[in-house]
Structure 1
Amino acid sequence: MFSRGKYADSGNGREMGSKRQRLPDSNLSYYGASMGSSYAYNTSSYAYMSQPPPFPVVRLRGLPFDCLESDVADFLHGLDIVDVLFVHKGGRFSGEAFCVLGYPLQVDLALQRNRQNMGRRYVEVFRSKRHEYYQAVAAEVSEMSGGSGGSPRRSVPRARSYDDGKDAAEHTGVLRLRGLPYSAGKDDVLDFFKDFGLSEDSVHIVVNSEGRPTGEAFVEFANAADSKAAMVKDRMTLGSRYIELFPSSAEELDEAVSRVR
């Protein structure tokens, strides 16, 4: 099971140091546990050789400028994605991202996607290292907080019209959440919206066909006025992740839930 301190200096990885901004250890623990005996087998060879496993991260380059985490997940379909970190320069998305995977051997599988297409653009996939990833995290946190020391908020790589569209969207009392920590449960979402008096039955965590959280959820509010008021929480943080909110509908909620039945 992954935990802090699991990765130490080696040819491809370094010791995991202080807690990073967006990747709680619980996420790594979740994926390590979910892979069970398969993960234990894959890491046993490192233990046998008395060498720590490399930190499982790749760098993507050439991403579309409206790329989202879900697009990266589709591009790396079949791999366990623990975190996606988009790289910004001067407040603009650079077309690069780091992707932390569930375990080291998946890095080789990700590299097989090199120069495959995402939409109309081909994406380059490179092997990366722990310190490069954490340097990017530090740079992103600094840029998001603007040096003010406040709660970091990532600049979303979309045009202004994207936000205008959310502001103009009709509210039906349902919001879709994106960017949830994979370890987040209903209690975490209820705490995020603690001012709205929600119940557990109003929170729906979306999972994939294997029962793993996708990082999305739907929340049903008492009325459209409450869901519109809750949009003030858009891009605020839950744990160490910023959360995006989108006006949704009962139909979209039903469709998301029915996909895994």
Structure 2
Amino acid sequence: MGRPSSLHLANRLTEYAGGVNIWLKLEDLNDTGSYKINNALGQILIPRRLGKTEIIAEMGAGQHGVATATVCAKFSMKCTIYGAEDVRRQALNVFRIRLLDATVIPVESGSRTFQDAVNEAFRAWIVRLDTTHYIIGSAIGPHPFPTMVRTFQSVIGEETKTQPRDLGKSPDAVVACVGGGSNATEMFYPFSDDMSVQLVGVEASGDGLDTARHSATLSGGSMGVLHGVRTYVLQDEQGQISNTHSISAGLDYPGVGPGLANWKEGNRATFLSARMHRPYRASAC
């Protein structure tokens, strides 16, 4: 996979932030281009042991789809990926998935977000349990999925604890974005018992927390049940799951992993939200 991944000092961002040293954990250098390969490679060992022949997965930003298609190609297993709106806005990842001989099924139901992709993947899985296994990409869903994802992905946080020590340093805070929860859970878990390190999660606030178009579950949600787990969710007064919005693919999930909900309840982690104030423009640098 290319582990360990690099820890990089962001000089310009450090200067912009006023002098605090900001280090980036570069998971994009992994094989398949993201951290999702850690979990996919770990989870596919389970259906191989169980004698399953087909894998089902969901895709948000598409990186989990690419990682799952890759491990299925490695072990010669049939692969089907369900995606919603992200099939359109992550067309390059869809191309890579199909290049690996996996099938991509666009989901047209509901609000066509990450939640609906997970819904369809669960529906497809439960009618073919004898031959099929579902590899979930985020720390969501019923037990033992959140525990498995946390375990396989925590290699990132473990490396992040060790690498600064080699430089004679230790972090004051660890910051991660929060969608379904795998990105933040993987970073936070190895630091969870070290109270000298602050844990900060950042959610997508979309058009603002004062609107109905956001994905800030921990900041603006309430306790409920979604996809087999009790956690914070975005819901109405009748408990119906709300639609979400985020300019970022993969962060538009109306729930969050139970591990993050537990850290919020115990005041172990702080959760903020970020809003895109103007259209993003990529520029050469």
Q: Same fold (TM over 0.5)?
A: no
Please report the TM-score for the alignment, with normalisation by the length of structure 1.
Answer: 0.28
- State the structure with bigger RCO (CA 8 A, min sep 6), 1 or 2: 1
Please report the TM-score for the alignment, with normalisation by the length of structure 2.
Answer: 0.26
